[in-house]
Amino acid sequence: MASSGQVSWKLEDHPKLPKGKTIAVVVLDGWGENKPDDYNCIHVAETLTMDSLKQGAPEKWRLIRAHGTAVGLPTEEDMGNSEVGHNALGAGRIFAQGAKLVDLALASGKIYEGEGFKYISESFEKGTLHLIGLLSDGGVHSRLDQLQLLLKGASEHGAKRIRVHFLTDGRDVSDGSSVGFVETIENDLANLREKGVDARIASGGGRMYVTMDRYENDWDVVKRGWDAQVLGEAPHKFTNAVEAVKKLRENANDQYLPPFVIVDEHNKAVGPIVDGDAVVTFNFRADRMVMLAKALEYQDFDKFDRVRFPKIRYAGMLQYDGELKLPSHYLVSPPEIDRTSGEYLVYNGIRTFACSETVKFGHVTFFWNGNRSGYFNPELEKYVEIPSDIGISFNLQPKMKALEIGERARDAILSLKFDQVRVNIANGDMVGHTGDIQATIVACKAADEAVKMILDAIEQVGGIYVVTADHGNAEDMVKRDKCGQPLYDKNGQLQILTSHTCHPVPIAIGGPGLAPGVRLRNDVPDGGLANVAATIMNLHGFVAPNDYEPTLIQVVDN
């Protein structure tokens, strides 16, 4: 069992709700609620099961918030994401999240007083500071303004030679926006050069093809970045980063730009990472930085041939994996998420099964458990990862592993070995990100079929289901004007939306095991993902801790 300090883990029994019911917790990734039209793939798709939940008893279906301050992000304009969403779902409370923590540290200047910055600054006298991350204002993995502030602050705190290695976005922001972002950074670097700082862009590439893989799905992605960033080697060489992006966009979108390096007049890379340098990965979100962090930090590493392993001082913007202590140095301390619902329930004897495919497996385990790897108690928990398809874009296999996840959840429910069966079904989000509307419609139907499989099993064992989502995506696939009408570019082409949204998400409860009189409350109008943990605890027959966000259910005497 995990070390628990002085926490009192015993939960009070719920005065009206029984224990012993099998509960299925289904998280549909990227499944928001939006007005119906041709670009709402959830509406267009044949989603008979989810439709039946929405059209059923009104007291058992409602909408909850999954973006902005409801999940710990700075403003209501910040769209939700899977990481903060699952943190909120599992923790039962709202914690200040990556972007907000970094904003506070930059605004106060404390980022430059911490151990992490002091550590990397030891390289400033003789070495180069390399900044690696996503160049975007999307606010999902990183933010352009934070990079700008970090460039300014690092130069004011002793960095004399700076190299930026950027990844273009086109996923959380508009495709094609990368050119403007690069121009902005080039202008900032030019201003630093006027002040005597040797500051330049050194390399680049698209986020889905270079560096930003996750969950060890495809190490070749990380290797392409390593070759460009560390070795200074890439299939494309340019003397100007803006021209590089413009040229490479002729054959690829922002997400999939091939790697390139910037070279000098002698055709020599201007910024390979070498012994004595400092490196900062400036993404605040963890999932797509962990693999690079391992390559930069681990002496023993066998995922690809690094060719050389420079002796550097490396820090993440935050620590990306608290259990692995990775990286060991970081500029901003991550949220300390303690006493998650999963840990409470295990301490109270709840046997838990969690399952998803690779691309979202970490969400129903690591993020759900407060950014913690592994089991709380291996005797009471079982986590199953189904390998995701690799080497192809998800719109080419839009059904992904939805049915396999449904089957594993069904079998776990019918086995009667578990009190909670928790899954993430990834289709709406991962296929939605490709911008392929027809494929996303197929994806939504597949996700719905998986939900049916799980709910049918709950029916057989007399259990309870909770179906919700972590954020929006598939419910709106086009950019819109202020009146909500689809936008078209100058060539008359529909402008596709590939990012998450700020729409609310559904939550539905039901099943034969649901006690009579249980209904969703209407006096928690601003309820969000963090309210779901107390709700699930209640359905397991327990009262949630006092400092948890209020439950979404009440028991009305008949």
Chain Cα centroid distance, residue 122: 32
Fold of the 99-316 domain: 3.40.1450
For 97-114, the pLDDT digits (tens) are 878 899 999 999 999 999
pLDDT (mean) for 552-557: 96
For residue range 334-370, what is the model confidence (pLDDT) as tens digits?
A: 778 999 999 999 999 999 999 999 999 999 999 999 9
Q: Is 288 annotated as a binding residue?
A: yes
What's the confidence (pLDDT) of residue 323?
54
**Residue 249 annotated as part of some ligand binding site:** no
Q: Are the C-beta atoms of residues 352 and 419 closer than 8 Å to each other?
A: yes
d(CA 529, CA 504): 10
321 is in an annotated binding site: no
Catalytic residue (choose from 3, 82, 178, 203): 82
Determine if residue 65 is labeled as part of a ligand binding site: no
Judge whether 82 counts as a catalytic residue: yes
Question: How many C-beta atoms surround the C-beta of residue 393 within 10 A?
Answer: 17
Count Cβ atoms below 10 Å from residue 383 Cβ, excluding itself.
18
Beta bridge partners of residue 505, listed in sequence order? 64
In whole angstroms, give the CA distance from residue 34 to residue 43: 9
Instruction: For residue 360, say whether it is annotated as part of any ligand binding site.
Output: yes
470 in helix, strand or coil? coil
Predicted confidence (pLDDT) at residue 3 exceeds the cutoff of 60: no
Domain positions in the chain are 23-96+337-362+388-555, 99-316
29 is in an annotated binding site: yes
Statement: residue 5 has pLDDT above 80 = no
Which CATH fold topology does 23-96+337-362+388-555 show? Answer: Alkaline Phosphatase, subunit A (3.40.720)
- 422 in a known ligand binding site: no
What are 459's two structure tokens?
Answer: 């029916």
Read off the pLDDT of residues 456-477 as tens digits, 9 standing for 90 and up: 999 999 999 999 999 999 999 9
